[in-house]
Amino acid sequence: MRVLIAGGSGFIGSHLSKFLSERGYEVIIVSRDSSRGIPYDEVHRYVDGDTIIVNLAGENIASGRWTSAKKRAIRESRIWAGRKLIEEIRRSGNKPGAFLQASAIGYYGRSTDAEFDEGSPPGDDFLARLVTDWEDSTRDVEDMGIRRVILRIGLVLARDGGAYPRMRFPFRLGLGGKIGTGKQWMSWIHIGDLVRAIEFLMKGNYSGPFNLTAPYPVRNEEFARTLCSILRRPCLLPVPAFLLRLLFGEMAEYLLLEGQKVVPRRLLKSGFEFRYPRLRNALESLEGVD
């Protein structure tokens, strides 16, 4: 089976590419940078019934302060990639076996109390509207009779990318602690479970939204205590909310100070088995603790 991964040179895409290649798939990276993969204009050459398309493309939302220009770039990079892939599918004259569309749990908005599953409605803030538009950018594939899976991805934990290395750094120095009140939810997933879940949804006859988060989300204060325990460091220094707002602006509210409790109800009902369902065993895996 051939898998085309748009955004395949990014953090999640590189892990997925390696995982699928090791399992015998023919993996082709699609990128706007021709040195990293085939250009979008050539996608139509590779589309047939044995092809799966995974669209992970989009500018990193945590790569800089959210200015008006940054917000536009975040949105436009996602919408452009989705629409371009649809254009290439039409150009091919063939239908891929399935289309997997990346999304994020920001779809549900922010809450300290509510629990969200795939049946929950979207939120109404900047990130929720962005994610909704991201999902909608490839909705037309369903009208073309193509199976579409929406991957609502949570906080991905890995040693070599994403947020975890930056989160871990102060803890290694003995300067770690909860962020703000510590009451905000963190709906996370180990990178190993994430790539396994994506393959699971590629192979099965699944469609619609799936939350790609571990079954047991935690509040930030529990995350901090668990990481301090594993690293054998003190957990004494909370990070003041005002400092994060000063440093990161609006982004701090969405990514650091507020969150949402998201559960992978459909994934569990589909029979997927997590290797790292709880935070402690996930972090111990990342830290090489037996």
Residues 2-155+188-214+262-274: name the CATH superfamily: NAD(P)-binding Rossmann-like Domain (3.40.50.720)
What is the arithmetic mean of pLDDT over 32-46?
Answer: 94
What is the arithmetic mean of pLDDT over 245-261?
Answer: 81
What is the arithmetic mean of pLDDT over 108-131?
Answer: 95
Q: Which long-range contacts (CB under 8 A, 24 or more apart) does 36-45 make?
A: 36/8, 36/9, 37/8, 37/9, 40/6, 40/81, 40/84, 40/85, 40/88, 41/88, 43/4, 43/84, 43/85, 43/88, 43/89, 43/92, 44/88, 44/89, 44/91, 44/92, 45/92
Q: 63 pLDDT band (50/70/90 cuts)?
A: confident
Q: What are the tens digits of pLDDT across the range 183-239?
A: 999 999 999 999 999 999 999 999 999 999 999 999 999 999 999 999 999 988 888
Locate 13 and state its tokens.
Answer: 């895409």
Q: d(Cα 94, Cα 103) in Å, to the nearest integer?
A: 25
Helices and strands of the chain, counted as H and E runs: 11, 12
Q: For residue 40, is pLDDT > 90? A: yes
Q: Domain segments of the chain: what residues?
A: 2-155+188-214+262-274
Report the percentage of the chain scoring pLDDT > 90. Answer: 77
Q: 136 pLDDT band (50/70/90 cuts)?
A: very high
92 phi and psi angles, rounded to 5 deg? -70, -30
Q: What are the tens digits of pLDDT across the range 267-279?
A: 999 999 999 999 9
Nearest CA-CA partner of 141 in 98, 182, 112, 102: 98
* pLDDT value at residue 160: 93
* pLDDT value at residue 190: 98
Q: What are the tens digits of pLDDT across the range 139-166?
A: 999 999 999 999 999 999 999 988 888 8
